[in-house]
Amino acid sequence: MEEFVVYILYSEKFNKNYTGYTSKLIERFKSHNILEIKGYTLKFRPWTVVHVEFFNSKSEALKREKYLKTGIGREFIKNLISQL
């Protein structure tokens, strides 16, 4: 059974965060920090994983990712980052 992860990355250097989901966290993290040659996360390297949540289905992970991108979710992320 495949496991899905919702993750929050934080770039301290640029004070930016990024929320995404994947079934392969380590490979995705490498992509954000090393392998990508274009895209949003390329501009704000280096990234640190500050939060992960595990789900049994892709639909659950997508629902949580979408929630974290709402106003309430962004407030959760802001509070999380302020505690670093």
pLDDT at 43: 94
- CATH number assigned to the domain with residue range 4-82, chosen from the 4 options 3.40.1130, 2.40.50, 2.60.40, 3.40.1440: 3.40.1440
Beta strands of the chain (E only): which ranges? Answer: 4-11, 16-22, 48-55
> 61 phi and psi, to 5 degrees?
-65, -45
pLDDT at 12: 97
pLDDT at 1: 75
pLDDT truncated to tens, each residue of the chain (84 aa)?
789 999 999 999 999 999 999 999 999 999 999 998 999 999 999 999 999 999 999 999 999 999 999 999 999 999 999 999
Q: For 52-61, what is each residue's pLDDT tens digit?
A: 999 999 999 9
